[in-house]
A and B are shown apart, each in its own frame.
Chain A
Amino acid sequence: MKVDLSFAIGGAQGSGVETAGKIATLAFAMKGVEVFGSREYHSNIVGAHSYYHIRVGKNALRLPFDAVVAMDAESIFTLATNLRRGGLLICNSETLETKLNDIPSMSRWLKKRIAEKYGVEVKAGDILGDFKVLAFELKDALRRLNISKSKVSISRIVNVIGVSAMLYSLGLDKETIKRAVETRVSGELNLMAVELAIEKAKGLRELECLEGNREGYLMSGNEVVATAKILAGLEFLSYYPITPATDEALFIEENGDAVAIQAEDEISAIGMALGASISGLRACVTTSGPGFSLMNEMISFAVQAEIPIVITLWMRASPSTGMATRTSQQDLFHAIFSGHGDTGKIVIASGDHREAFEDTFRAFELAERFQIPVVHLLDKFLASSITMLEKNIFSREKPAKTFSDSEQRYLITEDGISPFVLLGSQTMVVSSLEHDEYGFATEDPFIREKMMLKRERKLRTIAKSLSGESFVVYGDKDAEVTIVSFGSTKNAILNAIETMENVKFVQLRILSPFPDISKVVSGKVLCIESNLGQLSFLLRTCCKVDAIAKKLNGRPIYENEVKKAIKAVKNGEEEVILSEGI
C-alpha cells in the first residue's frame, strides 16, 4: 500500500518531544516503511515551543500536516493552524479552554497572527474546525497509571500517550508501537501508557497495518557524517562547540578512535587540525557559520602551505548568530570565497543523508589528493533530520593514504600537485610565507610567480578532474522549466517534480570550482535557494536565470512550496518568496 503522511508532535523545548519523535520514526522504520523526521527547536534551551515533523512514505517534508499531537495549548495554536481539513488532532482536553492570551510563553508575533484570524479571545478549542479530535483527560490518565510513587519522567509519559495514539490511528500495530517505546524509553509505566492510549484511539483508526520492505539504520545527518568520518579513518578532530555541528563532534568523541579535542576557539581548532594534517594524520574540523568566520585566516594558510584539511560547515540562519537553531543556505559565498588572497578550494554540497555519507569520504580523498582545504557544505536541516540508510553503504573501505619521499615538498609540477612529504622525513619548512620548493621563505619575484602559477595549475587540474561529477540532472531533457539548486533542497524538489511534466532539476554537487551547466539547462531557469540569491548570482556566470525562489524564514523548503514556485515561474513571475513553516 502506498502511503503518504505528514504529521507533527509538539511541546515545550525539553519536554519529551525529541523522544516522542524518535519513537514515531523508529516505529515506522521497524515496519519497513520509509520515514523522514526533522526537529524544529528554539535556541532558548528549555521552555519555548518545539516540534518534530515526520513524513511517512517520502523523504522530504510537506505541509499541511495530516495529524498533530499537541498535549499543551501552545502546541494546539501553533501546529493545528497548519493541520489540513479533516486532519487528526490528539490533545489534552483540559487545554481546550485555554485562551490565546493566557499563554505568556508563546511568541507574541504568532499570537498576533492567530488573533488576526480568530480574534483575541479565541480558545484552543475554538480552532478545531472540522478536525477529528482525540482529547485525553490527561490528569485522569496519569492517575490511572498511578504515577505518584514512580520515578517516571512525566513529560515523556505524556508524549508516549500522545504518540502511541497517533501511531495506532495512522496504521501501526500495538506490538510495533510497544517495541519502539521500549527501545527508546524503559519502564513498565510507559508500556501501560501505550495500552491506555490505544484503548482510547481504537475508534479513530482508518489505515490498516502499514507494512514495507525498507531496511537500514535510522540516523540523523550529524550521525551520518560522524560515522562516515570514523569509517573513513579519521585520526584527528578539533572543534569548538556550536549548533548544529556539536552533535557530530560528540558522536565522534563517543564512538571513534580519532583524537578529538575541544579547542578554546575555532582559530585554535583549525590550527590544531592543520598541525595534525602536516604530521600525516587524516584531520578535520566541524563548525557552523560564526565559527567558520574565525577560521578564515587559517584557511588561507592551508592554501598557501598546501595542507589537506576537511572543514565540515553546517549552515544555519545568519548573519551573525541570527537564528542559531534554524536552517539556511547563507554560507555559500562564505564557503567559496573564504580566506584572503587567491585561496582556491573545493566546496562540496550534499543533498541528503546518503550523499552526506559519500561526500565525507570524497572530501578526505580530494583534500589529500590535491593538498587543499575541502569545505563540506551541509545545513541545520540535514543535521537534525533523521532518515533510514541502507546498511550496505557502510561497508565502504577507507581511502588509501600515501606519502612521498621527495626532497622537495613544494616541487613545481605540470599538474600543480606536489608530492606530499611527511613532516620530519625530509628537510622542509611549512610556513604561511611564500616559499621555494623546499618550503624555505622567499620573496624572489621569479619563484613567487612560479609558485602562484603552480597553485593555479592545481586548481585547473581539480576543475578538470571534477568536471564529470559537479552536478546531477534529473527529469525531462527538454523541459520547459529547469530548477537549479544545491544542498538539502534536493528531496523536496525531487518529490515535487515526480508528478509534474516538463520540469527538470540540476542539482549542483560541487560549488567550487563552480560548474558550467549552460549545456544542460532548457526553458525557463528557476533557482531555488535558502538565501537572498547567492546561487543565482553565481549561476549568471554561465547561464541565464529567469526566476528565483527564496526561503528566508529559517525553516526548510517544503515539497508543496516547490510546486508553488514552478507554477509561479510558468506564469512569468521572477521572484517567489517561500514563506511556509512554523
Chain B
Amino acid sequence: MKKCWLCRSWIPHYQHEFVGLCIETEEFVFEDEYCNLFELRKLEGEFIWCSSCKREINAEDVEQHKSMGHKLFSAVFMDKDYREEIYEG
C-alpha cells in the first residue's frame, strides 16, 4: 500500500498527524496521498516519535508501542513558530 504516512520522506505534524511535511518536495502533504517518490519507511535512530502518544520514545520501546497499534516515525514536524506558543520559565 502506498500512502504518504508510510513513506520514508514524510514526517507528521506533531499535533495534526493527518498532515505532514515531505522532506523531498518540502511541501505539506496529507497522509492519504502519495507520489512516484514513494519509498517505504524504516524506523531509524535512537529516538522515535510516537504520534499516538505525542512524545519521543526510546528505540527499545518501539515494539511495545507497535503492539498497541501506535503510529511511529523517525522524526516529527513542528511549526516553526511553536516556541511562541510556550510560556517561558
Contact = CB atoms under 8 A, between A and B. Distances in A.
Q: Which of B78, B79, B83 has the most CB of A within 10 A?
A: B79
B29 A148 contact: yes
A13 B79 contact: no
B47 interface: no
Interface string A43-63: 001110000000000000000
Interface in A131-167: 138-139, 142-143, 147-151, 153-156, 158
A13 B28 contact: no
Interface stretch (A244-252, A364-372, A530-538): A244-252
Given A138-B16, A155-B16, A149 B30 contact: no
B58 interface: no
A105 B82 contact: no
Contacts, number: 106
A104 B83 CA distance: 23
A139 B18 contact: yes
Contacts of A17: 85
B70 interface: yes
A327 interface: no
Contact of B79 (A105, A142, A156, A325): A156
Given A12-B15, A12-B54, A94-B18, A246 B88 contact: yes
A527 to B, nearest CB: 30
B27 interface: yes
Contacts of B89: 241-247, 324
Contacts of A379: none
A266 interface: no
Main secondary structure of the interface of B (DSSP, over half): loop
A15 interface: yes
A359 interface: no
B13 interface: yes
Interface string A97-119: 00000101100000000000000
Q: Which of B27, B53, B55, B88 has the most CB of A within 10 A?
A: B88
Given A15-B15, A139-B30, A47 B54 contact: yes
Given A47-B54, A139-B18, A154-B19, A247 B87 contact: yes
A47 B88 CA distance: 15
A154 B85 contact: no
B60 interface: no
B79 to A, nearest CB: 4
A16 B28 contact: no
A13 B14 CA distance: 11
Contacts of B27: 148-149
Interface residues of B, number: 29
Nearest to A12: B15
A45 B84 CA distance: 12
Contact of B85 (A16, A151, A245): A16
A105 B30 contact: no
Interface in A300-341: 324-325
Nearest to B88: A246
Interface string B31-56: 00000000000000000001011110
A11 interface: yes
A245 B88 CA distance: 9
Interface string A1-23: 00000000001111111110000
Contacts of A150: 28
Nearest to A149: B27
A507 interface: no
Given A47-B54, A148-B28, A139 B19 contact: yes
A223 interface: no
A221 to B, nearest CB: 13
A71 to B, nearest CB: 8
A77 interface: no
A384 B15 CA distance: 23
Contacts of B55: 47, 105
A26 to B, nearest CB: 15
A155 B16 CA distance: 8
A235 interface: no
A34 interface: no
B86 interface: yes
A151 B88 CA distance: 25
A127 B68 CA distance: 25
Contact of A154 (B16, B52, B53, B88): B16
Contacts of A154: 13, 15-16, 19, 28, 79
A41 interface: yes
Contacts of A561: none
23 contacts: A15-B14, A15-B82, A18-B86, A18-B87, A46-B82, A46-B86, A47-B55, A71-B16, A104-B52, A105-B55, A138-B18, A139-B18, A139-B19, A139-B30, A151-B80, A153-B81, A153-B82, A154-B16, A154-B79, A155-B15, A155-B79, A244-B89, A325-B87
**What are the 7 closest A-B residue pairs judged by CB atoms, nearest first?**
A243-B89, A246-B89, A153-B79, A104-B53, A15-B15, A105-B54, A246-B88
Interface of B: 13-16, 18-19, 27-30, 50, 52-55, 68, 70, 78-89
Given A139-B30, A142-B30, A246-B89, 14 more contacts: A12-B15, A13-B85, A14-B82, A16-B79, A41-B87, A104-B52, A153-B79, A153-B81, A153-B82, A155-B15, A155-B16, A155-B85, A241-B88, A243-B87
